[in-house]
Amino acid sequence: MNILNYSFFETNEFNFKQVYDNETFFNEVNFKHYDVILADFSNYRELQKIKNFYNGYIIFLNYVCDELYYKKALYIGDFCYLYSEYEKIILRLKYLRNKILKKKVIKFGKFIYNFKTKHLYHKNILIELTKAETEIIDFLLSNKNRYISKIELIENCDYIENIDSIKVIISNLRKKGIDIINKKNLGYKIKKKE
């Protein structure tokens, strides 16, 4: 979990990037991915500026967190804690770490796929995949609730040479035990298994 700390909070339980000024803060948010931002309430205006494009969690910290501060914090962010609530802040960060980790790993059938490492496992054994196979698995799992057309696969996968090669790649994935279903005029989808 990547944490950007724009507050006075200190802990040894999590690693984070500490920033102290507005310019560094905006550079970090604009050019790097952070799952969580810890922000002192005095930086509220800076956080308002990123509200429309930042996708992670924002935790406001303050020395006072009455109803007014709490409402303002929740308008932009997700949580508001007092600096003195150290244990609550740590518990929230642990909860978010587990929640974010679950989003990066998906289980389907007897397989586990890690979106971050792009690795596929079957019964804890790494399955060797070509770059094109990895791209197709990644894209199908990222869009697991809908069918993906061949055109969409070509547009979103760099290692697929042409439409005809998609059938071959899908066939190879099926040989590895991945249950990919095909519906005419709709496309491909990984079958969900319990």
**Which residue carries 């600096």 as its tokens?**
83
Q: What is the pLDDT of residue 193?
A: 61
The domain locations on the chain are 3-104, 109-190
Weakest-pLDDT range from 43-52, 127-136, 172-181, 185-194: 185-194
User: What is the chain's Cα-based Rg?
Assistant: 21
The more confidently predicted of residues 88 and 117 is 88
Distance CA 57, CA 35 (A): 6
Q: What is the pLDDT of residue 194?
A: 45
Give the residue-averaged pLDDT of 46-72: 89
User: Residue 169: is its pLDDT beyond 90?
Assistant: yes
Mean pLDDT estimate for the chain: 90
Q: Which CATH class is domain 3-104?
A: alpha beta
Give the residue-averaged pLDDT of 52-78: 90
The tens digit of pLDDT for each residue in 29-51 reads 888 888 899 999 999 999 998 98
User: Residue 102: is its pLDDT beyond 80?
Assistant: no
Q: Quick one: CA dihedral 57, 120, 174, 107, positive or negative?
A: negative
Q: What is the pLDDT of residue 14?
A: 87
Of 3.40.50.300, 1.10.10.10, 3.40.50.970, 1.10.1060.10, the CATH number of 109-190 is 1.10.10.10
Q: Do domains 3-104 and 109-190 have the same CATH topology?
A: no
